[in-house]
Amino acid sequence: NLNYHKSKNILLCHYCGFKSALKRKCINNESCDFIFCGPGVERIAEELKIKFPKKNIEIFSSDSFKKKESKSIIDKIENNKINILVGTQLISKGFHFPKLNCIIVIDADFTSHGYDLRAAEKNIQMYHQLIGRAGRDGIKSTVYFQTHSPKDQMLKDISNEDTHIFLNKEIELRKKNKLPPFYRFISLIVTGKNEKLTEADAIKIKINLSKYLKQEILGPVNAPIFRINKKFRCRLLIRVPKENIIQKKLNFAINKIKLSSGIKLTVDVDPISFN
């Protein structure tokens, strides 16, 4: 889960805040060479400076956007002193850039697929916010999506001016697959420093809950973010029809379960995050 931040020259976990130096010793006791991958803002900015050496290029991210510097950066953008702005999702959050007339979304399909059932919904919200940054003063603007899947239906739906096309398809998909808002999920995250013990307790939790609950229990499986702060994570999902209220039964059932020492159970009703 460690991400490299070049400006600080550290590896940083965005979930628990763990920091580490980049230096590593190889088997032969010499310094390791690293190959960096992924479209990070720092890497993109470096490549743009090579391609466009005469352009004024700035990074717009939570790392670079400190309180003292924020006003200066925004003033430069508003006064058209920055030619190319390389930003994270932060750039879509309600800022007014009157001269912005071209937006390029790098790796647009990177977060479109995976374990989060709301990925498409979140992406279409973010992309529409992002698109709203361009051409706000009536200037003709263009938005490009860089993608490995140009035939991806979600990207086609985003580029369509009628947002109801996506919404209608998404609602039918969720209804068919028994997903929110037609069904509710209750997430159970089991954490512990011992991997095997964590997995064993997750299985024990499912067996015991099945004695008291008639609802479908999915899992246990390794959580998408399998380890945070030196603790392993397993997850279960309880799928519940929307009209059913099972919190009291669930609470009663959980209180009957004796967890192993060092194992923690976290319950999240209607989870927003599926990490």
Each residue's pLDDT tens digit, 161-213: 666 777 888 889 889 989 888 999 999 999 999 999 999 999 999 999 998 88
Cβ atoms within 10 Å of 105's Cβ, excluding its own: 20
Q: What pLDDT does 214 receive?
A: 86
Amino acid present at 13: C
Q: What is the predicted pLDDT for the residue at 137?
A: 61
Task: Decide which of 167 and 217 is more confident.
Answer: 217
**pLDDT recorded at residue 202:** 94
What is the per-residue DSSP string for 153-195?
HHHHHHHSS-THHHHHHHHHHHHHTT-TTTEEEEEEEEEESSH
Structure-model confidence comparison of residues 243 and 67, the more confident one:
243
CATH 3.40.50.300 residue ranges in the chain? 38-174
Alpha helices in 55-161 (DSSP H): 67-78, 119-131, 153-159
The 264-269 sheet, strands edge to edge: 216-228, 231-241, 183-192, 264-269
Sign of CA dihedral 124, 130, 131, 137: positive
Higher pLDDT, 127 or 222: 222
Name the CATH superfamily housing domain 183-269: Ribosomal protein S10 (3.30.70.600)
Model pLDDT for residues 252-273, shown as the tens digit of each residue: 988 888 999 999 999 998 888 7
Rg (CA), the chain: 23
Domain with CATH 3.30.70.600 in the chain: 183-269
The pLDDT of residue 116 is 72
pLDDT tens for 81-118 read 888 888 877 776 666 676 777 888 887 765 555 567 77
Please give the single-letter amino acid code of residue 32.
C
Rounded to two decimals, what is the model's pTM? 0.67
Given this model, what pLDDT does residue 135 score? Answer: 56
The amino acid occupying position 112 is S
Res. 136: pLDDT tops 70 = no
pLDDT of amino acid 112: 53
Mean pLDDT of the chain: 80
Look at the domain 38-174 and name its fold: Rossmann fold (3.40.50)
How much of the chain, in percent, has pLDDT values that exceed 70? 80
Residues 36-51, mean pLDDT to the nearest whole number: 82
Enter the tokens of residue 257: 């379960």
Q: Please report, in angstroms and rounded to a whole number, the separation of the first and last CA atoms in the chain.
A: 12
